[in-house]
A and B are shown apart, each in its own frame.
Chain A
């Protein structure tokens, strides 16, 4: 993974998760943070610290990002979720 394509998410306890930028951008908030026109501290170093998110939670979040990317363009019917969608 090239350095430019990654971003580091740091949990409250100081654990560092290095993930693809694409994965991080699943979150609108992180996407806005990284694509903001101004230069906030995070964009300068490519690191985002979350002093209020614990390591276990942040780990789950990173897993969700990758899961989301994997199934984002997937046909809903294939997953057998079509009926659930209609209920909404």
Chain B
């Protein structure tokens, strides 16, 4: 068999595909996908063809340009997240949370669409290179974005106010009701020693629970 002489070129697809003779093939294909991601973030996806984008992503990975696709994805998404956080920063007071919420759901929707078109990369390139899958990547980038200093300043001032009014007050009330009822029960069915033991146990549980998830100064209050 003279298999050593002929250069074999296995292609698994049954249909004709673009032969990668064009050196700028990767660049051109990436440009198409980059443009698509921009449109998706701008709520302009109805002009895009899923099939075309999926096919382009598929071809890129197939012709060993997965790395370029992945790094392009990371930088494009980061860019959009930065633009989004600028909008969120500019909003103040009540509309801040609204804006944050809108941007968060926008990001999620875009992320899902992007994951759908890059599904082939998610299933083949990523497991073999042990990179973060698209969906997780999107969430991580969002989280890194949130950890940004400037944003936190805005969030903290407003955040403590919301925390006190909407969460802490009702939470303390409900907890007080619960313990009142429970102690009533205990008094009725246990003797003095037992009751003291149960009360102490509850107290310790509360201290631990509260130090784990409530505000530091509130721990003292409780």
Contact = CB atoms under 8 A, between A and B. Distances in A.
Interface of A: 12, 28-29, 32-33, 36-44, 48-54, 57
Interface of B: 14-17, 40, 45-51, 54-55, 109-110, 112-113, 116, 119
Contact of B49 (A12, A41, A52, A53): A41
List the 7 shortest-distance A-B pairs measured between CB atoms, nearest first: A40-B50, A38-B113, A38-B45, A32-B116, A33-B50, A52-B15, A39-B46
Nearest to A43: B50
B119 A32 contact: yes
B193 to A, nearest CB: 60
Given A37-B109, A53-B15, A42 B45 contact: no
16 contacts: A28-B119, A32-B116, A33-B51, A33-B54, A36-B116, A37-B109, A38-B45, A38-B113, A39-B45, A40-B113, A41-B48, A41-B50, A42-B50, A48-B51, A52-B16, A57-B14
A64 to B, nearest CB: 13
A33 B15 contact: no
A48 B110 CA distance: 21
A41 B113 contact: no
Which DSSP category, helix, strand, loop or mixed, fits chain B's interface?
helix
Nearest to A34: B50
A74 B116 CA distance: 30
Contacts of B109: 37-38
Nearest to A35: B116
Contacts, number: 55
A26 to B, nearest CB: 16
B116 A50 contact: no
B216 to A, nearest CB: 40
Contacts of A28: 119
A33 B115 CA distance: 11
Most chain B beta-carbon contacts within 10 A, residue among A29, A42, A53: A29
A42 B52 CA distance: 11
Contacts of B116: 32-33, 36
A52 B17 CA distance: 8
Contacts of B48: 40-41
B113 A36 contact: yes
A38 B40 contact: yes
Contacts of B119: 28-29, 32
Contacts of A54: 15
A56 to B, nearest CB: 10
Contacts of B112: 36-38
A41 B36 CA distance: 12
A40 B17 contact: no
Contacts of B113: 36-38, 40
Most chain A beta-carbon contacts within 10 A, residue among B40, B46, B51, B109: B51
Contacts of B110: 38
Contact of B46 (A44, A50, A51): A44
